[in-house]
Amino acid sequence: MEIVRPGLITGNRIIDQQHQEILTLAREAMSCFDDSRGGNSSEFHALLNNLTTLAARHFQTEEALLRLNACPTLKEHKKEHAAFNERILDLLMKAMAGNLDRSGLLSVMEDWTTHHLLVSDAACCQYMQERKRSSDAARQQ
Ligand SMILES: [Fe+2]
Ligand SMILES: [Fe+2]
């Protein structure tokens, strides 16, 4: 899974790299927990740990960038991030209690990559690209 859609490239090297890491992690999760393999608990914990670190770092970086660009959907965007954080925390709590919710993890990864990344993040990327184009054009006048 690679970022191939032009609308998903923010032009910000760090954000683009973090998105790529999320897509790679989603791919790992899908292949770990497919029907034939099922995954094991150490794989599950490793993925969950990576997801927690990635999410915290990425949401912070992205929200700072959206704030800097006065993104009009920042408030809603932050709510979506907070909901992901809550779902990840819930998975962590369950795992600590011995319940490895594999389908829950897959569902978080799927929602993140197909809904949030390809819809909400893509819309913000487009907004920032347009903003940059108009400020570049204004500078050239
Ligand atoms: Fe986002
Ligand atoms: Fe993002």
- Residue-wise pLDDT for 79-124, tens only, equals 999 999 999 999 989 988 888 888 898 899 889 888 898 889 989 9
DSSP state of 69: T
What's domain 11-134's superfamily in CATH?
Hemerythrin-like (1.20.120.50)
8 Å CB contact between 4 and 113? no
Mean pLDDT of 44-50: 87
- What is the predicted pLDDT for the residue at 59? 97
For residue 37, report the distance from its CA to the centre of ligand 1, in Å.
31
For residue 36, report the distance from its CA to the centre of ligand 2, in Å.
31
- Decide if pLDDT at 135 tops 90: no
- Residue-wise pLDDT for 12-41, tens only, equals 788 889 988 988 888 888 777 765 565 678
For residue 128, report the distance from its CA to the centre of ligand 1, in Å.
13
For residue 124, report the distance from its CA to the centre of ligand 2, in Å.
9
What token pair was written down for 2? Answer: 């690679």
Of the ligands numbered here, which is closest to the C-alpha atom of 18?
A: 2
- Decide if pLDDT at 78 tops 70: yes
CA dist., res. 121 & res. 49, Å (int): 23
- What is the predicted pLDDT for the residue at 75? 97
3-state secondary structure of 1: coil
Of the candidates 40, 131, 140, 51, the one whose C-alpha atom is nearest the C-alpha of residue 88 is: 51
Cβ-based neighbours of 121, under 8 Å, separated by 6 or more = 8, 19, 62
Map out the domains of the chain as residue ranges: 11-134
Please state which of the ranges 5-19, 46-60, 81-95, 123-137 shows the lowest mean pLDDT.
5-19
